Structure 1
Amino acid sequence: MTLSTGSLPLVNRRRGLFVFLGVAYIGMWAAMSPLLASGYRRGNAREETGALEEACIAAAMLAPALAAILVVRCVERSGRVRDTLALRWTKPWGRAARACLMAFVVPAGLTTAALAIGTFAGRYPFSGVHWNGLGAWLAGAVLNMLVSLPLFFGEELGWQGYLFPRLAQDSDRRSLIRAYVVTGAAFAVWHLPTLLMGGQYPGRPWYVSVPAMLVSCTLILPVFTWLRLRSGSVIPAVIGHAFVSSASVGMVKEFADPQAALDPLHMGMAGWPGWIAAGAFVAFLTLTGRLQPSFYRARTAPHLASTRRP
């Protein structure tokens, strides 16, 4: 797998990065402006979002993809959008299926580990597994995640399709570290409007929720990048992100005491138990070299070549 974006002049690359970030951030603030103007605040983690909130969130999630497409087409002119942003299926199909399955299994495993850590620490009010309704809940969670996938393409075409490859283009150790840290930070700060409204951490002030989001995004982003690197496609990263933001949150609610208050800072992937689980997995990926594009280049190059048109 290679993250090369061609022989882009440095000035074009830098201009593209600034335009991408500007459009993505402006798009987020513009999409959230109706909620900010109305003084909306999320009161607790069990609170459901209304139609206006869902519409604003959907519009915001499309901003990074629109920014990436704009830059590729109008600023860098670096080739076809599909190829440049890795918007393709991995070949052969069996390998693509395994990559997508891994995008389900790994986030599910990390969430389970986070809930176990929170339970043993006495911070997660685990109420047991309700086997009678588990099948229906699983089916609903998967369906909800699949329905929301287009919105997560809106985010990951920007972060994994565009931003990370541009920052990691030189492929040396220093560039890769910078790419992971800067992409994670940009990903986290992009959520600032929702953090100010208590979106991810209800009831928490910004000076708690913003650092918490920085830690969460910096730790989970390498997992999404790993899914993208090992497959040569942004699609598994999209699936992984969708799981963490929907099914994983649903797992926290499903297995908790229905009468107990839920604090995302102390449970699930957004809290410190999730940081421990994700941090351990990222440490494993780092020690085994799996966060380096060169680890996958030899094994994926033939498959990627077969997907290109002559």
Structure 2
Amino acid sequence: MTLSTRSLPLPHGRRGLFVYLGVAYLGMWAAMSPLLLGGYHRGDAREETGALQEVCIAAAMLAPALAAILVVRLVERGGRARDTLALRWPRPWGRTFRSCLMAFAVPCGLTTAALALGTLAGRYPFRGVSGSGLGGWAAGAVLGRLVSLPLFFGEELGWQGYLFPRLAGDGGRRSLVWAYAVTGTAFALWHLPTLLMGGQYPGRPWYVSVPAMLVSCVLVLPVFTWLRLRSGSVVPAVIGHAFVSSMSVGMVKEFAEPTAALDPLHMGMTGWPGWIATGAFVAFLALTGRLRPSFHARSGTGELPAGHMDVPPGRTARSR
């Protein structure tokens, strides 16, 4: 039976959202403060991060999850954080495998399309693919992502587990457009400290990198949300985010001429080729209705049908 939901009482709902955003943003700025105060700046896309940078990044990535858990447990008091934030494996296990595979394959395909567009436009210095070294690089990249995967739970428990469902409201068209736009914008502006240090767009001033990051995040956010909706879990969104933030960047470096300059604004998923590829895919998802969640009541087991979003705590379901 299809169900609708009533909105949270405005003071309660707004308080939770404001607390979440405040803690997530303060956590990011606090984690990055050692680098900001030390004058760190990344000027080259090939520059590797040091130990201090890695520690600060890891701490920052945990902030959205901590903010979401804090709000669910202390502000909304609506149930177990694990259930509320969809921190569960898709069931049955065959669905888990397919969902995780899709979360890997789609960003890989979008990155490949972006690199092809950049090459055709003469902006990406493609050197070709070496079969002998590709397997070793891919194995190392996958292993590295598995090690760092818990950090990406830190982000997606906040953006996909908490913020997007709250903003999506009753799932109407206007509410969904609002949810996608605001969540994508909040996701992008949360990266402001790293953008000021040249993190995602090294060598670019903030007035270029910030708008570019806004476009990138608003476009890629629906892809992560789609992965979350089709599985009923944040896990595939976590895997997709990990690929985009790490392996996609690694592909740009791996397949480029070793001595060529790399400008993320003109290559990969964070540049205009990626915007075209991701925008086309998101348009397909929207036109086929794959970005519209259906709200269902919780079953007796506490789980939801795969592909449907949780009714946020504090909302009451009633049949239409």
TM-score, normalization: structure 1? 0.94
The match for 1:230 is 230
Shift of 1:268: 0.1
CA separation in 2, counterparts of 1:170 and 1:148? Answer: 35
Moved over 3 A (4+): 2-8, 300-305
Q: Residues 16 and 295 of structure 1: is their aligned pair in 2 closer, same or farther, counting only changes over 3 Å?
A: closer
Which residue identity does 1:60 align to in structure 2? A
Secondary structure of residue in 2 paired with 1:240: helix
Shift of 1:8: 3.7
The match for 2:37 is 37
Q: 1:216 touches 1:271 (CA, 8 Å); kept in 2?
A: yes
The match for 1:308 is none
Q: 2:4 touches 2:295 (CA, 8 Å); kept in 1?
A: no
CA separation in 2, counterparts of 1:295 and 1:145? Answer: 32
Shift of 1:92: 0.4
Q: Which has the higher helix share?
A: 1
Shift of 1:304: 8.8
The match for 2:54 is 54
Listed as ranges, the matches of 1:1-310 within 5 Å are 8-294=8-294, 301-302=304-305
Shift of 1:302: 4.4
Which residue identity does 1:246 align to in structure 2? S
Secondary structure of residue in 2 paired with 1:293: coil
Secondary structure of residue in 1 paired with 2:47: coil
CA separation in 2, counterparts of 1:188 and 1:258? Answer: 30
RMSD: 2.0
The match for 2:300 is none
Which residue identity does 2:38 align to in structure 1? S
Structure 2 unmatched ranges of 5 or more: 298-302, 309-320
Shift of 1:303: 5.5
CA separation in 2, counterparts of 1:238 and 1:161? Answer: 10
Q: Residues 126 and 159 of structure 1: is their aligned pair in 2 closer, same or farther, counting only changes over 3 Å?
A: same
Which residue identity does 2:260 align to in structure 1? A
Q: 2:228 touches 2:307 (CA, 8 Å); kept in 1?
A: no
Shift of 1:72: 0.1
CA separation in 2, counterparts of 1:206 and 1:126? Answer: 28
CA distances 1:268-309 after superposition (whole Å, capped 9, x unpaired): 000000000000000000000000003999xx944699xxxx
Q: 1:289 touches 1:295 (CA, 8 Å); kept in 2?
A: no
Q: 1:3 touches 1:293 (CA, 8 Å); kept in 2?
A: no
Q: Residues 39 and 12 of structure 1: is their aligned pair in 2 closer, same or farther, counting only changes over 3 Å?
A: same
CA distances 1:138-196 after superposition (whole Å, capped 9, x unpaired): 00010111111110000000000000000002211100000000000000000000000
CA separation in 2, counterparts of 1:3 and 1:49? Answer: 48
Instruction: Give the paired residue count.
Output: 302
Q: Residues 288 and 31 of structure 1: is their aligned pair in 2 closer, same or farther, counting only changes over 3 Å?
A: same
Structure 1 unmatched ranges of 5 or more: 306-310
CA distances 1:95-142 after superposition (whole Å, capped 9, x unpaired): 111000000000000000000000000000000001111110000010
Q: Residues 302 and 230 of structure 1: is their aligned pair in 2 closer, same or farther, counting only changes over 3 Å?
A: closer
Q: 2:17 touches 2:163 (CA, 8 Å); kept in 1?
A: yes
Q: 1:229 touches 1:293 (CA, 8 Å); kept in 2?
A: yes
TM-score, normalization: structure 2? 0.91
Which residue identity does 1:147 align to in structure 2? V
Q: 2:5 touches 2:170 (CA, 8 Å); kept in 1?
A: no
Of all paired residues, the percent bearing the same amino acid is 81
CA distances 1:5-33 after superposition (whole Å, capped 9, x unpaired): 98743321110000000000000000000
Q: 2:265 touches 2:271 (CA, 8 Å); kept in 1?
A: yes
CA separation in 1, counterparts of 2:4 and 2:265? Answer: 37
Q: Residues 6 and 170 of structure 1: is their aligned pair in 2 closer, same or farther, counting only changes over 3 Å?
A: closer
CA separation in 1, counterparts of 2:209 and 2:92? Answer: 42
Instruction: Point out the more displaced range, 287-296 or 44-53.
Output: 287-296
